[in-house]
Structure 1
């Protein structure tokens, strides 16, 4: 699989308690992305954050939250991500979804798709 040098990054923000058919939402998102042969997806769990409700979610011991922030990032072409968005809409409740351009410098083993920038 190859990735265009000018690709897109889809970021999906929600809480770790969010579910899809009884499973964690992040799992449903990653499995659907894999099923649709997207280039890759990664789940990040945040130690602290807040969203639309302004309710603070934190991993501090004295304020232990069971609903820490989760971000799923998916990188691929605009066309493939546009095809993924309707599936995402079906399985997501609340949350934030963003899409922004990224420059792919390396993907997978072998030679990089673009010259890596020289260190400053």
Structure 2
């Protein structure tokens, strides 16, 4: 348990159809995070949700949405995440992002 450390989790809420230039926004965010040397990023697709518009997006077969919720999670040191925020702000449009302090537990590495 000696590998505990504090980090910042950046969680970004967008729609599946959100774009940055010619590519999906979630893809552009992950690539920019990698380019910035951040520790890691994960994209999660939600089966249901709603945002500022109040419109419910769902994957139910009878009400199939083409804009399901997407959450992009990026984790790194507070300093690295803070340095990435201007890039994020320029990319997310009407998306929403949250920051939280997390404790990182690293597994055993061979």
Instruction: Give the TM-score of the pair, scaled to structure 1.
Output: 0.86
Aligned-residue offset at 1:4: 7.2
Contact 2:45–2:70 at 8 Å: present in 1 too? yes
In structure 2, what is the equivalent of residue 35 of structure 1? Answer: 35
Unaligned runs of 5+ in 1: 112-120
In structure 1, what is the equivalent of residue 20 of structure 2? Answer: 20
Aligned-residue offset at 1:92: 1.4
Tell me whether 1:88 sits opposite 2:88 in the alignment. Answer: yes
Alignment coverage as a number of residue pairs = 108
Contact 2:4–2:105 at 8 Å: present in 1 too? no
Tell me whether 1:51 sits opposite 2:55 in the alignment. Answer: no
Q: Which runs of 4+ in 1 moved over 6 A?
A: none
Q: Distance in 1 between matches of 2:18 and 2:46?
A: 14
Tell me whether 1:6 sits opposite 2:11 in the alignment. Answer: no
Q: Distance in 1 between matches of 2:46 and 2:84?
A: 24
Q: 1:40-86, CA deviations, whole angstroms, 9 ceiling, x for partnerless residues?
A: 00000000000111100000000000000000000001100000010
Higher strand share: 2
| Structure with bigger gyration radius | 1
Q: Distance in 2 between matches of 1:90 and 1:17?
A: 17
Unaligned runs of 5+ in 2: none
